[in-house]
Amino acid sequence: MNSLLQNKRNQIIAIVALGIFLLILPFLAGMLGQAWVRILNITLLYVMLALGLNVVVGVAGLLDLGYVAFYAVGAYVWALLASQHFDLHYPWWVLLPLGAFLAALAGLMLGAPVLKLRGDYLAIVTLGFGEIIRILMNNLDKVSLPGGDTVYNITNGPRGITGIDGLNFFGFKLSKGIEIFGLPVSGLQLYYFVFLAFACFSVWMVYNLQHSRLGRAWQALREDEIAAKAMGINVRNVKLAAFAFGALTGGLAGGLFAAMQGFVSPESFGLLESVMILAMVVLGGMGHIPGVILGAVLLSAMPEVIRYAADENVQQKVFGFVVVAPEVLRNLIFSLAMILIMLYKPAGLWPSPERKAELEGDRV
Partner 1 sequence: MSATLEVKQLEVAYGGIKAIKKIDFHVNEGELVTLIGANGAGKSSTLRALSGLIKPVGGKVTYKGQDITGVPSHALVGLGIALCPEGRGVFKRLDVHENLLMGAFARNDKAQIMREVDEIYGMIPRLKERTKQLAGTLSGGEQQMLAIGRAMLAQPKLLMLDEPSMGLAPLMVEKIFEIIRLIAKRGTTILLIEQNAQLALEHASRGYVLESGEIKMTGEAKALLADPRVKEAYLGG
* Residues contributing to the site for partner 1 (CB under 8 A): 213, 216-217, 219-220, 222-224, 226-227, 229-235, 354-355, 357-358, 363-364
- In angstroms, what is the minimal distance from the CB of 126 to partner 1? 23
Coil/strand/helix, residue 348 = coil
Q: Quick one: 173 or 236, whose CB is closer to partner 1?
A: 236
Residue of 141, 163, 137 lying closest to 268 (CA atoms): 137
Q: What single-letter amino acid sits at 5?
A: L
Burial of residue 29 (number of CB atoms within 10 Å: 0-12, 13-18, 19+): buried
Instruction: Give the containing element (helix H, strand E) for 155.
Output: none
Q: What single-letter amino acid sits at 202?
A: S
Q: Quick one: 287 or 303, whose CB is closer to partner 1?
A: 287
C-alpha–C-alpha distance, residues 286 and 62, integer Å: 12
- In angstroms, what is the minimal distance from the CB of 50 to partner 1? 20
- In angstroms, what is the minimal distance from the CB of 54 to partner 1? 15
Q: Quick one: 98 or 357, whose CB is closer to partner 1?
A: 357
- In angstroms, what is the minimal distance from the CB of 235 to partner 1? 7
Read out DSSP for 40-90?
Answer: HHHHHHHHHHHHHHIIIIIIS----S-THHHHHHHHHHHHHHEETTTTEE-
- In angstroms, what is the minimal distance from the CB of 142 to partner 1? 45
Q: Quick one: 54 or 300, whose CB is closer to partner 1?
A: 54
- In angstroms, what is the minimal distance from the CB of 359 to partner 1? 10
Q: Quick one: 267 or 354, whose CB is closer to partner 1?
A: 354
Q: Quick one: 197 or 230, whose CB is closer to partner 1?
A: 230
C-alpha–C-alpha distance, residues 160 and 143, integer Å: 16
